[in-house]
A and B are shown apart, each in its own frame.
Chain A
Amino acid sequence: MQKYLFLGDEAIAQAAIDAGMSGIYAYPGTPSTEITEYVQNSKEAAEKGIHSEWSANEKTAMESALGMSYAGKRSMVCMKHVGLNVAADPFMNAAITGINGGMIVTVADDPSMHSSQNEQDSRYYGKFALIPVLEPSNQQEAYDLVHYGFELSEKFKTPVMLRITTRLSHSRSGVESREKRKQNPLALPVDLSQFILLPSLARERYKILLRSQSDFEAESDSSGNNKYIPGKNRKTGIIACGLAYNYYLENKISNHLDYPLLKINQYPLPRKLIEKIASETDELLILEEGYPLVEESLKGFFNSPYKVKGRLDGSLPRDGELNPNLIAKALGIKEADFPAVPELVSARPPAFCKGCSHSDVYLALNEALAQYGKGRVFSDIGCYTLGALAPYNAINSCVDMGASITMAKGAADAGLLPAVAVIGDSTFTHSGMTGLLDAVLEETSITVIISDNSTTGMTGGQKSSATGRLRQICEGLGVEKDHIRFLNPLRKYHLENIGIINEELLHQGVSVIIAERECIQTAGKRHRNLSGLKQK
């Protein structure tokens, strides 16, 4: 057994290696990226032949993980919360097929949207798919629940969701490892029709999933992951889920609180334990990171016999991340006033790095579009979304991976001409290619700028599936060769670049402009590594 200082993400990765995982599949997304990166950088994982290459998107990742499970081996797929929207189709259906080798779907939610476009709560997806969900409250539990998750998955032949949030993903603490397990041997499913979801077979599979629900619930009551901790003050019973438990504990220690407590780390909700705490206390206060899932379940639609407080009745804010102070307030603890931030402190939003190629793309695009007026640039998810901020104010949309091209198409269909899409290279291969095909098939007049920095920048410079392939992909999808243009986004080519953009804005049909220059961060890192090697 070894002691480590781990980010929550790293604890999950090492646990998966120790628990005999044969492959991890993912597309980078904050706050989940470091899980897969850890496996990629692990010497042990390499020696054990564990698959860890990035996938093109979360859907392909989920399907590959399911395929590995079909072949009898343990797999993990990781993503950020909105990535699960992309992978929702295989996710929902993997619950119906069930698994062969153990499979864990790790989803990292981002309440307060530190680095995301929404704060959706993945526990709803777990409930929607009718599968067990595990929610650790610290790094050690994250490690332990991966081991348990694979066991649970193989015991009930179901995929298991591991749900974490930003604070756990990116918080470091001590973790002790466990005994390592061997990987599973290659083994086909006993029933070779298990994974064929033809309606007649799917109906049977669905019934199996429904029958498992009572087992899942019983497991939640008895696994020991949900703990009832007695307390003398029976005025309020606390139900604390995942990370929210830490914030309660902080207040419990500093204010000597003694409420009965139910700590939740596993769903479906443990019915017996909840009935126990509800019947012993006058009211329940639900502390959960994300949406009020537990609170809603306990309130019921009309009349619940219990008095339940939480995010819905205003005891806690309806949105945003929890913290110890919010929980103190919900517990009725009076805190002294805190010092104010001096007025002179100005906001410092993120911005393009000095020398970033995206900024040169936007400077040229803004000038080219000046004659047409504002409001016609659809953009996407990545560093280049920062083009929304001053001084560029260059884009008008950022919705989901790939939406730039398809929204530009819809707007062009409606008559907004010219319509421009700005998308990154990695986002293009994630979800932009299919939309481009739509536009090609209809010869829609859109100008697609692929701002190609040859990496997945925002998440820290992971390999991009698009690198070196963009021309062939666009040609293959049927974009006319004469309208696949290249520009070098550097200040010295500014006028030339405006000229290229202007020409393509006038083209009736699909244009793709590939603006290729390496990310300043990855280029810098590469340079430093090279000079470091030379010194040695």
Chain B
Amino acid sequence: MKTDIILSGVGGQGILSIAAAIGMAALEDNLFLKQAEVHGMSQRGGAVQSHLRISDTEVASDLIPKGKADLILSVEPMESLRYLPWLNPSGWLVSNTEAFINIDNYPDKEEIYSEIRKIKNHILIDADRIAVEAGSARSSNMAILGAASSLIPISHEKFHSGIRKIFERKGEDMVKLNLMVFDAGRKAASDYLSR
């Protein structure tokens, strides 16, 4: 078993927390993992990505080769398309519909969605709305993680304990809130697929 995931978004959107949550859950499951992060200049509102590889055997490269990613998980719709060369032909693209517009030439959103819909295996959810409805606007990244969670071979409960570990020092309320958003994202994805 090996799952290669590209996480994408804009600097400051919290993709490192998603990576940390998956990483924690993978460790709970005694899986091997490598996760390449982007720090430094790009974190200032630029395009950011993280390569996350989990496997039941040792992982070689820190970077996922082009054409080998099983999943692109994006907190921003245009950013999800930037990494298409990495997606394998049967791979999944899971993206937030909420655009992060900090550039003048941001394309038409509908055109972005239609590019995403061209990919056979895709899930589009409004993670920001899900997070707001659950009462925590800052937790949209956990909604997206929830939406993609059924595509990652880690059990629901291991995800929960991973998220718990990450938010534990911020208090039980934060843990509960993030777990709730995670589950709501997971449900939104299954609703999307059975639409």
- A residues bordering B, Cβ < 8 Å? 5, 7, 30-31, 33-34, 114-115, 167-174, 243, 246-247, 249-250, 252-253, 323-325, 328, 335-336, 338-342, 344-353, 383, 386, 458-460, 532, 535-536
Contact = CB atoms under 8 A, between A and B. Distances in A.
A171 B37 contact: yes
B63 interface: yes
B167 interface: no
B78 A383 contact: no
Given A341-B85, A345-B82, A173 B107 contact: no
B107 A344 contact: yes
A341 B84 contact: yes
B111 A344 contact: yes
Interface string B80-107: 0110111100000000000000110111
A31 B107 contact: no
Contacts of A352: 44-45
Contacts, number: 147
B153 to A, nearest CB: 18
Interface of B: 10-12, 19, 23-24, 27, 32-47, 59-67, 78-79, 81-82, 84-87, 102-103, 105-108, 111-112, 115, 170-171
Contact of B40 (A253, A339, A458): A458
Given A173-B34, A249-B60, A346 B78 contact: yes
A180 to B, nearest CB: 23
B41 A30 contact: yes
Given A114-B40, A340-B84, A173 B61 contact: no
Contact of B66 (A34, A247, A325, A344): A325
Question: Which of B38, B44, B105, B108 has the largest number of chain A CB atoms within 10 A?
Answer: B44
Question: Which of B38, B66, B87 has the largest number of chain A CB atoms within 10 A?
Answer: B66
A351 B76 CA distance: 17
Contacts of A243: 62
5 tightest A-B contacts by CB? Answer: A115-B40, A30-B40, A350-B46, A249-B60, A250-B61
Contacts of B12: 353
A352 B78 CA distance: 20
A250 B63 CA distance: 10
B67 A172 contact: no
A114 B103 CA distance: 20
A112 to B, nearest CB: 11
Nearest to A344: B107
A178 to B, nearest CB: 19
A319 to B, nearest CB: 17
Contact of A171 (B27, B36, B47): B36
A346 B105 contact: yes
A292 to B, nearest CB: 21
A33 B40 CA distance: 10
A161 to B, nearest CB: 22
Contacts of B82: 341, 345
A339 B84 contact: yes
B41 A171 contact: no
Contact of A172 (B37, B41, B105, B112): B37
Given A341-B84, A346-B78, A171 B62 contact: yes
A317 to B, nearest CB: 15
Question: Which of B27, B40, B65 has the largest number of chain A CB atoms within 10 A?
Answer: B40
Nearest to A323: B63
A168 B62 CA distance: 8
Contacts of A459: 40
B44 A346 contact: no
Given A34-B39, A170-B37, A345-B78, A351 B65 contact: no
A386 B62 contact: no
Contact of A323 (B59, B60, B65, B87): B65
A342 B115 contact: yes
B36 A115 contact: no
Contact of B45 (A34, A323, A341, A350): A350
A253 B65 contact: no
Question: Which of B39, B61, B81, B84 has the largest number of chain A CB atoms within 10 A?
Answer: B61
Contacts of A328: 65
A173 B84 contact: no
Contacts of A169: 39
A353 B46 CA distance: 10
B84 to A, nearest CB: 5
A124 to B, nearest CB: 23
A348 B67 contact: no
A34 B39 CA distance: 10
A250 B60 contact: yes
Contacts of B87: 339
Contacts of B45: 348, 350-353
